[in-house]
Amino acid sequence: MAFLLSMFKKAKIESPEPRVLRRNFHPKDKGKDKITPITHNAMIDIETLSTKPNASIFSIACVIFNTDEKKIDKFFIDKIRINVSLFEQSQLGLDIDQDTCNFWLCSDEKLEIFDLLTKDAVPLKDALEVLSSFIKNHNVSRVWANSPTFDAIILENAYRACGIGEKIPWKFWQLMDVRTVSNLSLRKMKGYQYKDEKTRFNQEILEFDKTTLSNHDPLYDCYLQILIIQNQLLIDEKIKGYDS
Statement: residue 75 has pLDDT above 50: yes
Q: Where do the structural domains in the chain lie, given as residue ranges? A: 2-242
Q: Please, are residues 199 and 214 in contact by the beta-carbon 8 Å criterion?
A: no
Give the model confidence (pLDDT) of 28-71 as tens digits.
444 444 444 456 899 999 999 999 999 999 999 999 988 776 56
Instruction: Give the lowest-confidence range in 1-10, 68-77, 135-144, 188-197.
Output: 1-10
The CA distances from residue 185 to 36, 58, 181, 199, in Å, are 32, 32, 6, 19
151 exposure class (CB count in 10 Å sphere: 0-12, 13-18, 19+): buried
Instruction: Give the lowest-confidence range in 36-50, 115-129, 135-149.
Output: 36-50
Q: Is the pTM of this model over 0.95?
A: no
Instruction: Please provide residue 200's backbone torsions phi and psi, each rounded to the nearest 5 degrees.
Output: -65, -45
The number of beta carbons lying within 10 Å of the beta carbon of residue 218 is 27
Give the model confidence (pLDDT) of 161-201 as tens digits.
999 999 999 999 999 998 888 777 655 555 555 555 666 67
Looking at domain 2-242, its CATH architecture is 2-Layer Sandwich (3.30)
